[in-house]
Amino acid sequence: MPPIRRRHLPSLGSFATFEVAAKHLSFTLAARELNVTQGAVSQQIRLLERALGVTLFVRRHNALELTAEGARLHAAVTAGLDTISAAVGVITGDEGPPSVTLSATDAMALFWLQPLIDSFRDAHPEVGFVVLASDADDTLRNYADVDIAILCGNERCEVGEELHFLFPEVARPVCAPAFLAAHGPFEDAADLNRVNLLHLHDRHWSADAIGWQPLGWAEWFRAQGSQWDKRPSSLSTNKVSLLMNAALAGQGVMLGWQHMVQPLIAQERLVVAHPAAITAGRGNFLNCKQKSLERGVVAQFVDHLLAAAAHQQG
């Protein structure tokens, strides 16, 4: 079958609209990014499907899926727009200073990524970073400008992406040194029931960017052959950052995720309250666009992250 001649292609604007809708798998989010109405996006897609004579999306209740034809077109349109964007940057001299854009959950961005950004910038102060952090919006990873996405136990990988395993999700009880001195030691798991346990609320685990089964005190005590008494906690919250601040302030014991608390333990701001760890057999992944890796600064930062993850594993 001969290729379609360019003058017979639908408008380039309709392809751009399709690329955004396919990226988000949502006409609503596409409309928000394009600053148009949802109806305008839907109409553009219908016209494009009619012009091509194929169905690009499967419309389900509150969800969209790409058809095989839609997935093939999405890969081609994304590659084409990336090429155009790069060429325009070179022609206009508007490539801008070197920068890296990342997406992650709130706690991962604050406690794991930020220290590594700081250490990278010590050697490369000219590099800027954009960090898009949310526990409630899993679509951030799909934004065109995102080079690297840190995924919580979600090993999805699309065409044109490179996936790396970082580390398993491991948690153990931690607290401030002064709290342990005043209330410890905790020789048995049951001993922890007599102190204030800072609790990560189940709402954290049902957030759109996480969506895992809970890994909290109930699971930790059960893994140790014991039972959580569920006494009132001074703090139960869906935000890891709030728990971390409370633990650092000496208010109680929290389940600390290894990759987040290791630097604080090394600084002696936190200590392990009980050595038993718990894991649900899931992990964290680094997902990077292959196109982004063509930029040296992105490839360097990926190496920096992978080296840090390997060091933590060692």
pLDDT recorded at residue 152: 78
Closest by CA to 258, choosing from 173, 197, 192, is 173
Distances (CA, A) of 248 to 98, 253, 277: 35, 9, 20
Residue predicted with more confidence, 230 or 177: 177
pLDDT recorded at residue 1: 42
Predicted confidence (pLDDT) per residue in 45-80, tens digit: 898 888 888 999 888 877 788 898 988 888 888 878
pLDDT(97) > 60: yes
| Alpha-helix residue ranges (DSSP H) falling in 114-162 | 114-123
Determine if the pTM surpasses 0.85: no
Average pLDDT over residues 113-142: 88
Average pLDDT over residues 105-113: 92
pLDDT recorded at residue 114: 94
CA–CA separation, 205 vs 255, rounded Å?
14
